[in-house]
Every structure is written in structure tokens, then in C-alpha cells.
Amino acid sequence: MSRRENGAHLSLTSLDAVVCSQVYQVEYVIVKAANSPRPAAWILERSLDSENFLPWQYYAPNDEECWSRYSTPPTGSKPVYISDDHVICTSQHSKQIPMENGEIHTKLVSGRPGALSHSSTLLEFTQARYVRLRLQGLQRSGESSADKRQAFYSIKEINIGGRCLCSGHAARCRYSVHHGHQKCECERHTCGERCEKCCPMYNQIPWRPGTAGKGFHCEKCNCNGHATSCRYDQEVARKNMSMDIHGKYRGGGMCVNCTEHTAGINCEKCEVGYYRPNGVAPDASEPCIPCNCNVRGSTGYCTPDDSYTHVGKVAGACECKPGYSGYKCDQCAAGYQQFPDCMPCPCDSRGILPSDDCEGYCLCKANVAGEFCDRCKPGYFALTKDNLDGCSPCYCFGTTDRCTTARLSYSMISTLENWLVTDMNASRAVVPILKTDDGWLTMTPYEVSSPFWLAPQVYSGNRVSSYGSNLTYSVTWVVIRGDNSGKPTVGPNVILVGNNGLRIAYGEEQYSGDRAEISVSLREQGWYHVRDDIRDIPTRLRRTEFRGDPVTKTQMMHVLADLKHLMIRAQYHSGQIEGSLQYAILATGEFSPDGETNNLVEMCECPEGYEGLSCERCTWGYARVVTNGTNLQDHHICVKCDCNGHVESCDILMGECGTCLHHTVGPKCDRCAIGYYGIATKGTSEDCEKCACPLSIESNNFSPSCQLDDPTDINSGYVCTQCPEGYTGDHCESCDVGFYGNPLTPGGTCQRCPCNGGACDQETGRCLECRGNTEGWKCERCKEAHYGNPLELNCMPCDCSTLGSSSVQCDKTTGQCSCNSLFTGRDCSSCIEGYGNVTAGCQECDCDVGALNGLCDSVSGICRCAPGVVGSRCDHCDMDHYGLTSDGCNNRSYELRTLPEIYEAEASFSLGGITTAARAIRLS
């Protein structure tokens, strides 16, 4: 495409939009100038409706104007695109040279991130029907153009390169006279003006746009030749319900308007009222034929094909209304008469013989009784029409023959958590992979030989209530491509292992295709023992080599009563490289008064010591004892434990009770445990009650033991036998003398009175008697006018002197009284040094020459006199003394001595020393 403007000088600020005949994906734009320089500033714009234009690229005279004019960062000579719709600004095409015939090449696709993948963003960015050049600035040099004659725009040619919008699914497009514009020549089974969808019969997978790197092809739906169009359904694809033309369940193609009376996602089924006979393939030209059921006796529906043979239904067999039977529902069923009306007989159709023609008396089946054959004989239960004998015998693990049909409320066990992959002996385990796209468990058969899915513990345990119901599961497998030598394998579909050692199995079919939904009945019919010597099932093993004897009801019940392992077959083909488990559903029942009775589970009237739907367990206080040898069909009896009813079970052979319950102890659980009281031999769970001393809570139960007042009378009350110090009463409910508190209050205790041996109020703890001259709430201080340490009971009176102290109070710790002036001492009972005579108010000492010094007694004021001196002031000599001096007074008695006495004295003094002797001579 091109637009030429020759010989005209354009002075417009924008060029009229170039109009295309339709929307194109524009890949480049080339603008050629005429006799003027290229525009300096302009915008290349696009539009789909000529009203709303969006920029493709900015052009500026220089890099600075990219920022100032267009608020866009400048791009160099090789632009880098951040995204597929990134609008850039460049100054590479705005130079003055050449002055004429300059060209501007703009590439809109090349170099962008989605250029090869044809991203949706790039497709939207490059779509346009209108292209506009918005011119905003001339070339200039300084303030004015260098050549005024060239101050104009001139564009002589515009080339726009683009392609038709064909979503990447057409190599070319051509002009359509009918549509009046270019039309894509679609490829890869795509259709539409722009190849925007898959053709009617090619919708097995959802349409996607094509890419340059790898083209997308619409896939044909598998409609078995009975439809000309289909549509894609996401939910069908998610559930893998649509089979493609290669026989694989993938994609979501749903056939539309199936013909030849076919129906279904792949036209693989027949319409209601038609069926596909055995051996006729779904892609046959006329696969479905009418059911031709009797109009009066049928619902108009018949078994649609041969896929129901495993449940005993033949293709084309009509579904009969109640009271009718036969392949075409053209006769009366047992219990009905007078075809074609088929009126009900008075007899219960479940309990009469098939040959009964309803004439005369009802002919009951072997295990059925009643005038109308409507109840089971004693010892039998579960009256059903399919049972040739009418009712099944009570099993009850041989303990009784009295039973009825159990009323059960059913629930389903279904989980993919904690499954493992193991061998048929459950001797090793491998953790499978949980696929995030579909939530299935996946394994590879190379990790384990003859692999089986090992169910978690939630499927195990007592499953007696599941007897007669079904285990349903769905599995898929992948076979290695290109290997035609492999073949489907055989092996047990399900293996049950009981804790009694029994290993039983069901099924041995071969499965074609790559998936199977299997339902297994938990009844003994069809089950067999797996031979003990079989440890593996190689692909060459024949069916007869791993099958043992058929399973009896006794063996089936023993396995279900204590199921250890449930295993599901994981390998179905010798060339299998992967296997998946989609789900596994096990029906289990619980007794309910309002439950249903259309089941094959018995409710036995168990004798003493037995419990369970089939008396399969021993009740509380009984132990299971196996009798009659060592084979796997041993009978068990429940023997009462000699443990006074305080153990769940015991060892009968060893005579040991094991762990006693209900707070009892002893070899026979015949005594209450410490901390409990009662009579443990009564045999109830309430024999021993918790001691409450005085309360049963841990914080207020102060005695570790208690006992009955009368060991033979439970109503005699109990006594707590180990109340701690400070507690008293039968139940330690009171505080003893010398203690206080309230043990009957949660958290309350008895605490010793804080009275240093004295009594206190037993509720508040306030001291009532304080010793050692103390007082206060806790005898925590000395009495008034006392001092000392009250905690050591040594508070003593202050005894402050009334003469020398200003108060009767003293320091509470040291006992120091507050002394008046001139008084001192702890009790202020003496005068300071140099003063005396406290009674006179401590006067200054007035000692005479006969005193030893100037100090007097601090209490009396009497001076201390020299020898022979007397008087309070030491102011005169004592009797028989004379000569008052500072050395004292002379003793007058020396002058009256006789001479011999003097000499005797002299002699004696001489013995004492020279100085003394001389003095003696002076005295003489």
C-alpha cells in the first residue's frame, strides 16, 4: 500500500489518515520526504475506528525533546523494547541531512519480545485500519530556519507493510468478492474470516493462535462416524471423559447431533430405546437397533451394550416394570399373575419359590416362614429375592443363632492421603507421587515388583459392617509408546489381609485400553485364597498358579472383623511405565435406629461377654481365647477376666490382669489406688472415687490418701489419712491451732501463724497473742516504749530516765532514749563528763584539793578522793587522818606505835626496798 503526495507542499499540522479497506496487522511504515527535510517532531498513530488514535512511535529533534515534549525516554539506533506494546521515542530520523528525499523506516514487530510467538498483546498493538502522521515540528537551526524556502513539510510517498489478521493460521490471504475485502486462506483445520476458531469437526482440544516457532493444529473429534461437528467442553476435558481418534482419553471434544440413534460424548452409546448388540463396534454404520420391549411390561429402556455383562446384564435386555420379567418383559415375575396385567400375589415375592404360580397357598423358600412367606425362620436373616433359600443363616461367629438384619446408616471412606505402593506381600513400601494437575496418585512399576496400592489405616480395622457392600475404585495406566510386544497382564484386582494371617483375593481379569473403573463385592462369592508360596506374579504366570481354595463365609468374616491390609492392583500391562489411582471408595455402616435394612449385615443377639454386629468382639472385662487347634478357622470364645471389672481384657492363660483401670490396683484390681477410696470389688467403673481433701482439685487436695470409715460400707463416708501439718478435720478441711487460712476455697491453704509461737485468728491470720513484748497483726514490732528484734522475741523496755530524758520512747532498734541537756547514756540516767548529781539536774563537778582529779561521779556528783580524804567534795580528812593535801591525808595511828614495833616495821620495810625502808625511818 502507498499514498503519494507529489508536487504539493503540505502545511498542515497532521496528515489525513491513511484508510485501509479492513483491519490489518501492520508490521512497518516507510515515509519518504520530497523537496524538504524530514519532519523534526511528529507522532505515528493508529486507529480502528478513525475516532480514537493511539501512538505507535514518537519522533523528536533530539533526545532532550523526547523527555520535554513526549515524556518518554529516548532510544538509540537499536531500540530495546520492554514489552510488545512499548511506545518508544527516537531522534535518529530527525536530522536535517539529507535536505531532500529523506526516508523514515519504522518497524513495529521486529525486535519485540512476542515477535516469534505472535502474542495477543503484539497482535492488538499492531492492528489498525487508519494510520495517521501527526506533524508537530519543522527542522530548525538556532532560532529560525536556515533556508526559509525549506520551512515546510513535503511527503511524496508512504509505504505501509502489513498482513491479514489470520491468527497465525494462514500463509496468505486473497480478495473475496463476496466479502469485499481480503480473506484468510486458513490452514491446520481452522476456520473463520481470521482463522479464529477450529472447524466444526476439529474441537478435541481448545483453539489457540498459531506461532512462528511451532504451529498449532486443531484436532479432530472422535464421533465414531456419527456426527459432523463437535464442540470443546472444559469440564469433560478435566474429567478425561472424551476419547480422541487415537483411543486415548484426553481433550474435551463433545460430538453434536449424533446420528444413527447414537448418543454420548463420542456418539459411542445408543439413545434410550436402542441398544448395540454384542460384537458390534461403536463405529459401525448402523450400530444401534430398537429395544423392542413389551410396552406394558417395560420402561422402554434396555441394556445399551455389552459393557454391563460384569453385573449380569445382557445387551438388549429390557428393563422391566415391577411385576414383569423376561428378556423383553413379556411375562409376569415371580409373585405376580395374569399377564399382561401382572397383579401382585398376596405372597411376598422375596420369599416364594420361583415356580410358585400364586395359586393356592404360598410356597416358601427353604429358610422362609409365614403364611405369605414374608419372614425368615428363626436362625436366619436378610430376606431377599435373589437368595435361592430366601434368607441367610445367622453367623454370629458361632455364639448364637438369633439375629435380624442390621439397621445401618452408610457412609463412604474415600481419600488419597497416606497411600503407599507395595508388593503383594506388603513387605516393602514406596511413597507415590501426587500429581498437581489432576490430583491423582502416580507410581512407576519399576520401583516394586507386581505393585499394589496399599490403602491407609482408615480403610482397615473392623469392617464387618461392609459385608455385602462394594469397594469401588478407578485406575489408569500408561503403556510405553512404540512397544507392540507387550500385552495386558492378569492378577488379583484386590487383596485383603487379616490380622489372623489370611490373605484372600478377588478378580483376575485382563483390561484393554488405559483405564478401568472396578467394583468388587465384599462377599465370599468369587474370592479365593492366595497361595502361601506365591511372593510375586510375573507376567507369564497363569491364573491357576496363584489361585488357592475358594473363600468361605467364615473366613471372609474373620478377615473383615480384623482387616490389616487392603491392596488394589496397580499393574495392568506388561509394557506399563506408569499407573495412577483416581479414587477408592469403601462403603461402611453404622448402627442407626432409623437406618436401612436392605443389606446383608446381621445384628446378632450376643450372649454375655460378646458384642458387635456379629458378636465379633469381646465386651469390656472379657478376654478372647482361641479354641480347636491352630488352623485359620479357629473358633474363639470370650472368657470373663477375674479382675473385678477393671480391665478391658486380660491374659487368661497367665492369670494376669495387666494394667488396672478405674483407679484400681492389685493383682486382681481389688484395691483403690492411692488418692481414691471405695470398694473396688463391686465391679463398676465408679467403684473408686477421687479423694477430696477437702476439694478434688489438685490445688486443694492436701492428703495423698484417704479411706472409708467402714471398709465394708460405701456410704459410711471417708477420712483423709495424711493431712499435712497445719491441717485438721476428716477431710483436711480446717486449719490446726497455730495455723490460719481456708482450705475449702480453691487455691486456699493453711499457713503457720506469723505470731512467733502465739495464737492467731484461724481465718484472717491476725495474731491474738504476742510474746516477748511484741505487738501488731503479725507481732512484727516491739510494744510502745520497748526496743529490740521482735523476730527474736528480745524486745526490752526503754526505761528512759524521767530526770534525764524528754520522752518515755526510745529508738526501736538501739533503745537510745532522747536525752536532755547535760544528760547522757542509753537511758539518759547519767550526766556528761565533768557533771554529776542527776537529781539536781547535772551540776558541774565542784571537787576540792583532796580529789584525785576534777571529775565527779556522773550520777551522784560525788568526787573521787585521795587516800584519807572524805566528803562529797573531798574537802576534809577522814577520821584519824590529818594534813589535807592533794596527796591525801596522813594517818594519825602511826604516831602511837611502840619502838619495837617501829624497828619491826623498819626491818620489814627494809625487806621491801631501800626507798620504803627510808620512809619507815622517817616515820619513826
CA distance readout (Å), 858 to 819, 820, 846: 14, 14, 12
What element of type H or E holds 567?
A: strand 563-569
Are 130 and 30 within one domain?
A: yes
CATH number at residue 39: 2.60.120.260
| Residue owning grid cell 510494744 | 783
Are 303 and 277 within one domain?
A: no
Q: Does residue 924 sit within a domain?
A: no
- Kindly state the cell numbers that stand for 681: 470389688
From the CB of residue 849, how many other CB atoms can be counted at a distance below 10 Å?
Answer: 14
Which ranges constitute the DSSP H helices of 422-552? 543-546
Q: Does residue 57 sit within a domain?
A: yes
Are 253 and 339 within one domain?
A: no
> Which of 865, 900, 893, 860 has the alpha carbon at shortest distance from 879?
893
Which of 344, 365, 381 terminates a domain? The answer is: 344
Give the pLDDT score at 150: 58
Amino acid at 237: A
Are 450 and 591 within one domain?
A: yes
> Which of 45, 46, 75, 81 has the alpha carbon at shortest distance from 60?
75
Name the CA radius of gyration of the chain, rounded: 60
CATH number at residue 882: 2.10.25.10
Are 264 and 335 within one domain?
A: no
Which of 575, 599, 623 terminates a domain? The answer is: 599
pTM, two decimal places: 0.50
Q: Does residue 314 sit within a domain?
A: yes
Q: Does residue 437 sit within a domain?
A: yes
CB 230 within 8 A of CB 256: yes
Are 453 and 591 within one domain?
A: yes
For every residue of 402-432, DSSP letters joined together read -EEE--EEEEEEE--TT-EEE-TT---EE--
CA distance readout (Å), 846 to 81, 125, 383, 463, 710: 123, 130, 140, 122, 92
Query: 3-state class of 916 per DSSP?
Result: helix
Q: Does residue 319 sit within a domain?
A: yes
Give the pLDDT score at 482: 65
- Kindly state the cell numbers that stand for 106: 519504522
Are 243 and 278 within one domain?
A: yes
Cα torsion through 625, 629, 630, 631, rounded to 10: -110
Are 323 and 470 within one domain?
A: no
Please list, in sequence order, all residues whose beta carbon lies within 8 angstroms of the beta carbon of residue 316, skipping any fewer than 6 positions away: 275, 277, 291, 302, 303, 327
Domain count, the chain: 6
From the CB of residue 452, how many other CB atoms can be counted at a distance below 10 Å?
Answer: 27
- Kindly state the cell numbers that stand for 336: 405376580
Please tell me the distance from the alpha carbon of residue 187 to that of residue 215, in angstroms, as a whole number: 10
For residue 340, is the peptide bond before it cis, meaning its omega torsion is within 30 degrees of 0? yes
Query: 3-state class of 202 per DSSP?
Result: coil
CA-based torsion, 348, 349, 351, 354: positive or negative: positive
Phi, psi for residue 830 in degrees, rounded to 5: -135, 165
CB 31 within 8 A of CB 18: no
Q: Does residue 529 sit within a domain?
A: yes
Q: Does residue 780 sit within a domain?
A: no
> Which of 120, 231, 131 has the alpha carbon at shortest distance from 168?
120
- Kindly state the cell numbers that stand for 717: 463416708
Are 483 and 583 within one domain?
A: yes
CA-based torsion, 275, 276, 282, 283: positive or negative: negative
Average pLDDT for consecutive 10-residue bins of the chain (924 residues)? 31 53 83 87 91 93 91 88 91 83 89 81 88 85 51 85 81 74 84 89 90 76 95 93 92 95 94 92 93 93 88 90 92 82 86 76 91 94 93 94 94 95 90 88 84 95 95 93 76 93 91 90 93 63 69 94 95 90 95 90 95 94 77 73 92 88 94 94 92 93 93 90 94 93 93 88 90 90 92 91 92 93 92 91 90 89 92 91 89 56 37 32 30
Are 34 and 102 within one domain?
A: yes
Are 19 and 89 within one domain?
A: yes
> Which of 863, 861, 837 has the alpha carbon at shortest distance from 850?
863
Give the pLDDT score at 909: 33
Q: Does residue 275 sit within a domain?
A: yes
For every residue of 69-112, DSSP letters joined together read HH---EE-SS---SSTT--EEE-TT--S-SSSS-EEEEESSTTS
Domain that holds residue 852: 843-887
- Kindly state the cell numbers that stand for 343: 397383579
Are 384 and 481 within one domain?
A: no
Amino acid at 215: G
Cα torsion through 639, 641, 647, 648, rounded to 10: 0
For every residue of 204-225, DSSP letters joined together read SS------SSS---PPPB--TT
For every residue of 665-718, DSSP letters joined together read ESTTS-EEPTTEEE-GGG-STTSEEE--SB-SSGGGB--S-EEESSTT-TTS-E
From the CB of residue 656, how many other CB atoms can be counted at a distance below 10 Å?
Answer: 13
> Which of 693, 755, 754, 745 has the alpha carbon at shortest distance from 724?
693
Please tell me the distance from the alpha carbon of residue 427 to that of residue 423, in angstroms, as a whole number: 7
Which of 360, 393, 426 terminates a domain? The answer is: 393
CATH number at residue 369: 2.170.300.10
Going by their DSSP bridges, the two strands 74-75 and 88-90 should be labelled as parallel
